[in-house]
Structure 1
């Protein structure tokens, strides 16, 4: 009965004693969840999400005693203290309601519970210590306080933990080192004060790593000035902190850019198999100059956001090894030097923000060949010369290039009248940088199987047809 515009709870269901699954999600049902529903003897899956339920009829004890194993009551109008789930519960979704109070410690007594999603409510108090026993923990956007529990034991099955947009303090738990299955780690928009967690490089499967808007500080390059040590990352977001220092030239050499194909499970999204269903990770992305929430992360989505810090020095040419990078944001830092010519190799790039740095030189002409580039911002730097004239660049707003006294050409109003004698000098500068790019291609090849993109980038970049993207969006 999903998405059938039902306005009243279908009481006929109470006569169907053999029901195992009840799905009435995405309707317009108001009021209370009936008490008899929990007495159906064989009920295991109950989906109530996306309605207008406000409360529960009768005693909440009948919920505890029911046989339900998967309960989804998200996206409703439930308020007050959250009812305790059934003792048999394995998967519990209650996101996007207005539940208040502390998260009950009784959740720790649900020994079969593996998935707990209480995001987007008004919970207060600390995070229960038992979250180390779960596989997926989503507590995003509440009013939780205190520090993250530091009790993650060896062998824990934790794969996803999202505690972003709370009021958490303290440091990142060092016991995260024991979470060898961890793929999704998000602590963004809290008050955590710590140095960059280089020690997390021991996690072999970490794909999403978000530290945005905290009080992290210090360098983000390892003491040995080697490459970034998180080879499976898809999303690396550490913006709006107090990180300092520079990035070594080899910083991105070990980054395995995600493949542009459907994953082994036959889906195009990062998801976890939790038995009766799959769980899609939801993420808040900074993309194309906008903040957006996305349910389901494409397996091939790849983004780097270092914006809003105090990072200085040159942008490493090794960034060009990340051919399938889709979004790059280095804005509001203190980067100097030229924009890397190797960015022209990042052929899937859709969003590039280098604004508010101290970059100099010209905008590489190769950027105009990036056929997917929909957003570019290089404003408020020290760039000069003519803006490359291509559809993807000249179609941008003027504000994307303002604040560079030496820039000229569309979409700016300033025309370029460079005398012919200056042209050879600019070409000489680009040729010098091109030599550096070729050197990095050689470094990638020399790294062997540790660098998946090295051999591809060592070849001449062939014209890439965007039909794959059209097919994906039309499915």
Structure 2
């Protein structure tokens, strides 16, 4: 009994000891450092993409709780020192200072601060954390150069700096990280050649340099990375040939090399049939010549992308792919072959879940039966003349693109019965309608339906009740927009441009106005006022250009804080300038062209309109009046600085998936109205205020818009001198100041604008010599006409004995040059009202494909 009591007493003492020890595990100096680190940032205003608040781990830290039990903190149980800090996606906002208390946590082994807003330079003092094994700073908005001091973290095994804005070259000091196994530098702006220091880091198993600005050729001795499993250099500017040594690395499983500039025939060496390579992405390069037959030896491949391979119109032996029995993803789109391929050839690939044969002439037999469980099928531009009947048995199909073919007639009823089908693109064919009863069609679970550029006409087809994205542009619809559309309660995107609809915009749109983000109704014959109730606060893109709408611009648009694209050109709106647009801080495109807008465009008592993201401003051909204050353009940030925060340049998939969405917008350049088409406006910044009644001096603040590409202020009543500060517009390619009341000389500084290809100073009161410079004096004489006191080349009027008159022959040559380059603007500054829609749909479809890819990737992991 005595012995038992002693044992229980000892157990109690040990229990009390460890309980007390656990309670006070965190060392005071560590706790103080963490507490100070928290105070260095603020966590207000953060929400996830769906609008819900994100997790704020530091907000739950408390003095009453041992710091080793705080969210994101782990300690060494023996010493009480903090060894792990994981504050991923914790809403930290503010720079990481060089003297941050974080660097007092010198025993950290793992640190993850990813997905926070730590915008600033990554300080050299990061090297104080000498015991780090894992460092993840992905998605933190860091910029500047990668600090060379990272090379002092000799214990690092994992380094992730992806999804930031790092620039410059990879520092050589990273070669000191001899234990590094995983390196992530993707999605930055890193430049230079392939970092040769990596070749000496023998433990590397994963290298991700994708989506940067690397260039040059890959080194020939890539096989020195003998343990490499994952290698990603997608979306860079590497060129030359791919060294065959890369394919000889025995451990290599995933190889991403797409969207570069690799060229020449591909030499992959004598690959062993025991190769472990499972993922090979070579698409969208400049390869030419035959597709290597040795690919057939890579029998472990489950992902193969050879898109846009230039076979130089050779025939391709597609049987080489039949040996790849494990393929679940195959992209052979646009490989430029003259072969006609029988789709039945792929019947033996029983695991295919993704197949893209776009741009290849296909033979599709009516009796074809594919046994593979295809989920994503893209057969765009394949010269298919009949709706593929084999699809009726593809019960796993969720994504179908048969756009840009020659299919006529009606969409078969059985398409609506495929149980998993959600995304359908049948655009650019000759379809005339849908088969099937209302019950069958409306029960379908289709989310996206693209029927644009077909021969659909009245009556308007019934749509699945589940439709979220409907694209019906460029058909033969007429009459009023059917109110049945308003029953689609999940509708997010509606594109009905380029039809013959008339009548007013249905007021029933209010039924889903809280969800609609894209409404494109341009180039119809709609009239009446725009109903206020049709404007919902989710709206991102509104295009009603080229109709006959009248009245005032709906002021309820002020509630659309997400609005990025607003185009009402070529209507009959009769309103004053909508000053409330300054509250739309996400607005990138504002087009009010060719309406009856009138009055001043500067608000009394307010000298500047703030447009932080505006890229295109077109208010031409209206009745605007008044004087612009000198610093009117002072807060137009996106035109002042290079910004690439918005990427609406569709990728190959995005552009194709989104169908024929690209409409056009009129623009005046060199006094001519041109129809501009294009695929994006990410880098193009334009201002057009021509054809109004604006007076006074040209605002001096316009010289702040250093990223401006096109400036058209013609056909107004601007007076005063042309400011020499226009020389700051170093990216300017088109300048039109004609038909004003400008006086004085043309500033000689304009001769420094090396990109200024087109300019027009005619019909003013300018005087003195035309500045000497290649860009200016290569213009036609008409660019300077009707300025009686202007002289010098290219005019005939001389400015003294040193200048010869322009001969008739010179004028003829200049006129010919003018005609040859008139189309440059259409090619260079194209912008489209459908581009946002194209980006939106493309992003959705690309995300869908990416999710599918991740799913199958996990199955092969």
Task: Encode CA deviations 1:46-72: one digit per residue, 9 max, x unaligned.
Answer: 101112223334546543232211001
Which aligned pairs between 1:317-396 and structure 2 lie closer than 5 A? 317-396=700-779
Contact 1:287 1:351 in 2 (8 A): no
Q: Separation in 1 of the partners of 2:733 and 2:759?
A: 8
Would the alpha carbon gap of residues 184 and 91 (structure 1) be closer, same or farther in structure 2, given more than 3 Å must change? Answer: same
Which aligned pairs between 1:4-403 and structure 2 lie closer than 5 A? 4-59=382-437, 62-129=440-507, 130=509, 132-133=513-514, 134-151=516-533, 156-258=537-639, 259-260=641-642, 262-263=644-645, 268=649, 283-286=664-667, 288-289=669-670, 290-403=673-786
Q: Separation in 2 of the partners of 1:44 and 1:269?
A: 21
Displacement of 1:399 in angstroms is 1.8
Residue 14 of structure 1 aligns to a residue whose secondary structure is helix
Displacement of 1:101 in angstroms is 1.4
Would the alpha carbon gap of residues 171 and 46 (structure 1) be closer, same or farther in structure 2, given more than 3 Å must change? Answer: same
Contact 2:497 2:524 in 1 (8 A): yes
Compare relative contact order (CA 8 Å, sep 6+) and give the higher one, 1 or 2.
1
Contact 2:646 2:682 in 1 (8 A): no
Cα RMSD (Å):
2.5
Contact 2:431 2:454 in 1 (8 A): yes
Which aligned pairs between 1:419-438 and structure 2 lie closer than 5 A? none
Would the alpha carbon gap of residues 357 and 418 (structure 1) be closer, same or farther in structure 2, given more than 3 Å must change? Answer: farther
Task: Encode CA deviations 1:204-224: one digit per residue, 9 max, x unaligned.
Answer: 111111111111111111111
Residue 42 of structure 1 aligns to a residue whose secondary structure is coil
Q: Separation in 2 of the partners of 1:98 and 1:152?
A: 24
Larger radius of gyration: 2
Displacement of 1:346 in angstroms is 0.5
Displacement of 1:313 in angstroms is 0.9
Residue 311 of structure 1 aligns to a residue whose secondary structure is strand
Stretch deviating more after TM superposition (297-306 or 141-150): 297-306
Contact 2:403 2:659 in 1 (8 A): no
Q: What TM-score does the superposition give when structure 2 sets the normalisation length?
A: 0.46
Equivalent position of 2:796 in the other structure: 413
Task: Encode CA deviations 1:435-457: one digit per residue, 9 max, x unaligned.
Answer: xxxxxxxxxxxxxxxxxxxxxxx
Displacement of 1:279 in angstroms is 11
Would the alpha carbon gap of residues 61 and 164 (structure 1) be closer, same or farther in structure 2, given more than 3 Å must change? Answer: farther
Q: Separation in 2 of the partners of 1:346 and 1:414?
A: 29
Q: What TM-score does the superposition give when structure 1 sets the normalisation length?
A: 0.82
Q: Separation in 1 of the partners of 2:694 and 2:627?
A: 6
Q: Separation in 2 of the partners of 1:239 and 1:314?
A: 18
Q: Which runs of 5 or more structure 1 residues have no equivalent in the other structure?
A: 421-468, 470-475
Task: Encode CA deviations 1:257-302: one digit per residue, 9 max, x unaligned.
Answer: 344454366x6479xx9xx979987551516445233343322221
Q: Separation in 1 of the partners of 2:618 and 2:407?
A: 39
Q: Separation in 1 of the partners of 2:635 and 2:522?
A: 31
Residue 746 of structure 2 aligns to a residue whose secondary structure is coil
Contact 2:527 2:550 in 1 (8 A): yes
Equivalent position of 2:234 in the other structure: none
Contact 1:318 1:342 in 2 (8 A): no
Contact 1:381 1:403 in 2 (8 A): yes
Would the alpha carbon gap of residues 55 and 109 (structure 1) be closer, same or farther in structure 2, given more than 3 Å must change? Answer: closer
Q: Which runs of 5 or more structure 2 residues have no equivalent in the other structure?
A: 1-378, 804-827, 829-861
